[in-house]
Amino acid sequence: MSTRCKRTIALATSDDPAQSIIPEQVCSEIHARYLKVRDEASDAREAVVRAVFGDPACFAFSDEGTYVLSRAHADYDILILDAVDPSRMARYLRANRPILLNVVKFAIMQGSSPQRRARMLAAGCDDVFDTVRMSVEEMKLRASAVMRRHKERVAVAMQSGRVAADLAYLATPGTLTPRELTLLMILAQRQGKPIAPQQFCRLMAPPDPVQFRRALKHAMSRLRSKLNPRWCIESVPGGGYRLSQQRPTLHQGQAQFSAALIVG
């Protein structure tokens, strides 16, 4: 057995009583799948995978196999790939990107170069683990950090979905960008009241307040075009904005009156 494989197995079977990196309560909530490439070091890599991720469902990797990515038979949160051939795995990830949009992806490598790791990151992996260059403890810490960020993104997306549903009377859900959705939520909470650019800046806390204030006018213009009929965003003196209901024009009032007469 090569020195590299021995080093990998030593890392995987270490009984260092360090704190559990992915807490038990998190482990019990996540489901992982491992796409395994068979070679002389595959068992050693699998030992590391199991030390980090517990007991993932293992599948033999195939370039044409998309069944293992399907959620039809079971759901999963994490996909782990044996990236012994980064170019091949990168092609596989790109080809199946739509299926893997909401899946956290980790690549497992052995004695890799920075260029090979970068290739997997560029293909869409959330992190790359090298079984020779990293300890199991470090991999667990990194996996835990990735999963925390993933959960936060999911929570934000769910909250955004609920907000969009609540604001459906103002604009069609799905047509608004995250920034437009936040702007509309602020306007809706203060309907009929003017909101100064400084207030938007304070409430949204952008990384570059100066650039944010410059772009606010264009953002409001795009948001206006997406509002449902009867609603408008008015510009107020001082550069502020106000959400209000449009008053029917004389022409609209006559049309409504005519329609009422016909129905009557």
Task: Kindly state the percentage of the chain with pLDDT values over 70.
Answer: 82
Please answer whether residues 40 and 5 qualify as being in contact, where contact means their C-beta atoms are separated by less than 8 angstroms.
yes
Lowest-pLDDT range of 64-68, 77-81, 178-182: 64-68
pLDDT tens-digit series, residues 207-256: 888 899 889 999 999 999 999 999 999 999 888 999 999 865 544 444 44
Chain-centre distance of CA 202, in angstroms? 25
Closest by CA position to 5, among listed 38, 48, 52, 44: 44
Backbone angles phi, psi at 194, to 5 degrees: -70, 140
pLDDT value at residue 151 = 85
Class of domain 167-245: mainly alpha
For the chain, residues classed under CATH 1.10.10.10 are 167-245
> Looking at the domain that runs over 3-159, which CATH code has it been given?
3.40.50.2300
Output the average pLDDT for the chain.
82
Rounded distance, CA 215 to CA 183, Å? Answer: 12
What H or E segment, with its residue span, contains residue 139? helix 136-166
Residue type, 87: S
pTM of the model: 0.59
pLDDT value at residue 249 = 54
213: its two tokens: 């204030």
For the chain, residues classed under CATH 3.40.50.2300 are 3-159
